[in-house]
Amino acid sequence: MVATGGVGAPADASGAGAPGTAGQGGIDAPAAAPDALDDAASLGETAGGGDATVPSGVGCPSPGTLCWDFEEGTLPTGWKPYRNEFNGTLLVDNTRPHRGMYALHAKDFQGGNEADQGGPKKTIQFQLPAGFGPVLWGRAFIYTTPARAASHAGFFNARYPRPNSTATAIDTLDWYEAATYMGTYMSIWHPPEPPGYPEDVQVTTTQIVLDDWACLEWLFDGQNGDAPEAADPRMWLDGVELAWPDTFIYPTGSARPKHEKATNFTVLEAGIYLYQGLTTVTNWWIDDLAVGPQRIGCD
């Protein structure tokens, strides 16, 4: 999607852009910076995922909650590099922790044209333990500076197999997303990518928090009780639930996608991924990330 006509035509018409490739849509993306996402792996990331013994981080209640406070000073065990497009670096450093000494830093993101498809994308991916369940609460503290570009910028998503499917490949999974858009917060339900749409989009009028830490929470309820479809995503900012006065289906004119119900969430993705270009060098920090079957809170 382009910034002027919807939320998310992806860099590669898939909703996400292929990992490790430059954005498409007519943009010749520069090569990733030499110290980009690969360096995060070299800091000590262990391949694989699904480790049920993930170290507990800040605000990690039991039962079943997984937390990452990045206090190892490296990419946490089980997380591995995924998307890597345009300029910038995703690494764990000590430049602006929320608590403790370290945070995940999306550093100096830039690339592409703000009105065009394709933008910086640096993310990591984690395989959830088997049997995680169909309800996923999430929480992260996020710091953004300077003023945000007019772009769809995702920071977290969680995916699950379609009903009666045992497929595990990313391009077979339905997914929920927490993001920002045009300087406000946004949430989306997506079918598998490619193409990743029609996507069911919700946008708030609440401006994103700049130059300070904000606590973002989300609820992805793929069970939704006895309802015939999975629930729309919900989000909270510093403990206050966001309203969604602007809702639409993208691409314009598309039928609403059926929100297929989940049995188990299987894959997480975190970092920053922009679907339009970014001309102003921008930084994000993510800290005290947690997911679980119950609300985790901001404490």
Q: Confidence band (pLDDT; 50, 70, 90) for 1?
A: very low
User: What is the band of 113 on the pLDDT scale with cuts at 50, 70, 90?
Assistant: confident
Runs of H (alpha helix) within the chain: 37-42
Q: What average pLDDT score do residues 54-74 get?
A: 77
Q: In the prediction, which pLDDT does 53 show? A: 43
Its CATH architecture, for the domain 37-279, is Sandwich (2.60)
Instruction: Categorize the per-residue pLDDT at 151 as very low, low, confident or very high, splitting at 50, 70 and 90.
Output: confident
Q: How far apart are CA 100 and CA 94, in angstroms?
A: 9
Average pLDDT of the residues in 226-238 = 98
Q: How far is CA 139 from the centre of its chain?
A: 12
* Nearest CA-CA partner of 196 in 173, 179, 228, 178: 173
State residue 5's pLDDT score: 29
Confidence of residue 104 (pLDDT cuts 50, 70, 90): very high
Q: Which are the contacts of 81, defined by CB distance < 8 A and separation ≥ 6?
A: 37, 38, 40, 41, 45, 75, 90, 123, 124, 125
- Of the pLDDT bands very low, low, confident and very high (cuts 50, 70, 90), residue 146 is confident
Q: Which pLDDT score, from 0 to 100, does residue 194 have?
A: 87
Amino acid at 128: L
CA dihedral 214, 294, 165, 68 (to 10 degrees): 50
Mean pLDDT over 9-32 rounds to 32
Count of positions (residues) in the chain: 299
Least confident of 133-142, 217-226, 261-270, 276-285: 276-285
Q: What is the pLDDT of residues 191-220, one digit of tens each?
A: 999 899 999 999 999 999 999 999 999 999
Q: What is the dihedral of CA 15, 19, 24, 29, to 10 degrees?
A: 140
**Cβ proximity of 154 and 268 under 8 Å:** no
pLDDT for 228 equals 98
The whole-number average pLDDT for the span 14-20 is 35
Pairwise pLDDT comparison (64 vs 265), residue with the higher score? 265
Q: Is 223 within 8 Å of 230 (Cβ atoms)? A: yes
Q: Measured in whole angstroms, how far is the alpha carbon of residue 58 from the centre of its chain?
A: 20
Q: Which of 2-6, 18-22, 160-164 has the highest mean pLDDT?
A: 160-164
Give per-residue pLDDT as tens, 30-41.
333 333 344 433
Over 70: is that where the pLDDT of 139 sits? yes
- Return d(Cα 75, Cα 44) in angstroms, integer: 6
C-alpha 120/C-alpha 72 separation (Å) is 26
- pLDDT score at 73: 96
> In this structure, are residues 261 and 220 in contact, taking their beta carbons and an 8 Å threshold?
no
Q: What is the pLDDT of residues 176-189, one digit of tens each?
A: 999 999 999 999 99
**pLDDT value for 149:** 63
Asked whether the predicted pLDDT for residue 106 surpasses 50, the reply is: yes
